[in-house]
Structure 1
C-alpha cells in the first residue's frame, strides 16, 4: 500500500467539526474520494512536493504548503497528524500554483537528484513516471486548490 496523500475541501462548519473531532476523518477515508471536493495524489505527493520546492521535507512557503501546510490536528492516521489550512492559506497556495504548469515541473524533474534525496517512492527513473504519474496528479491538485480557493474553503490534508 505505502504512503498516500489525500486532500478535502471543507466548508467552515466542516472544518470546525473536524477540528473538534479529528477521529471523524476516518469517515472521509472510508468514503468515495473522487468528488470535486477531494483529491487523492496516491504516492505522487512527495515527487510533487520535490518538484515544487526542490527539497524533500521543507514546510516553508505556499508551494511547500500544497502537501505539508496548515495547522496540525490531533490524531495520527498513518504518517503523522492531519493538517488543516484556512481559506487564506488555501488562497495563497492557489495563487502560488497559478504560474506553475507541467512544463515548469518537467524542467525540474531530475530522477537522479530525486533518488539521492530519497524522494518517495523510488520510481522516478521509470520512463513514464513524469508524464503518466506526476504531471496528471499535479494538474489534479492544482485544480483542487484553485476550486477550493474560489469557493473560500478550508483544506484538510492527510498523509496516510
Structure 2
C-alpha cells in the first residue's frame, strides 16, 4: 500500500510540474517547456530543435471602450473622445528561458507586440494631440476581458489554447 501511495504522489507531482502557464492581462508571464512538449507530443530534443518556430499570441472576443480627455486654449476647454478596440489578436513577445547548459526550460512572456498604427493598448490615450489622459473609470468591457494565450508551430500550423494553470 505504501508503494501505491508513493507512486500516486510521484505521478501527481510529475503532472503538476508540466502545468506552468501563467500570464497577466498585459501579456507578461511564463510558459513551461512541459506544457509545449505535452501539447505537441515532443520529447526534449524536439522542443530544443523546434522552439524557434513557435509563435505565441493573445486573443480576446468582444470590445473595450474608454474615454480620453485633454484641455486646450487659455480657458482650458475640456475635450473628450472615445477610443475602442475590437477582438484583440496580437503577437506575444517571448524570450526563451535557458538553463546553465543552454537548454530551453520555458518561455518568458514579456507583453504584446503592436500590430500596427491603429493598435491601442487598453486605456491608451496616445495618438493625435498632446497631453491626453485616460478618464478615470471610463474603461468598459463587452465580452471577454481576459486574454487567452495561444501557440502554434510554424506559421501555417493550427493555433492551440494555453489556458492559465493554477
**TM > 0.5 between the two?**
no
Tell me: higher relative CO, structure 1 or 2? Use CA pairs within 8 A at least 6 residues apart: 1
Larger Rg: 2
Structure with the largest fraction of strand: 2
TM-score normalised over the length of structure 2: 0.22
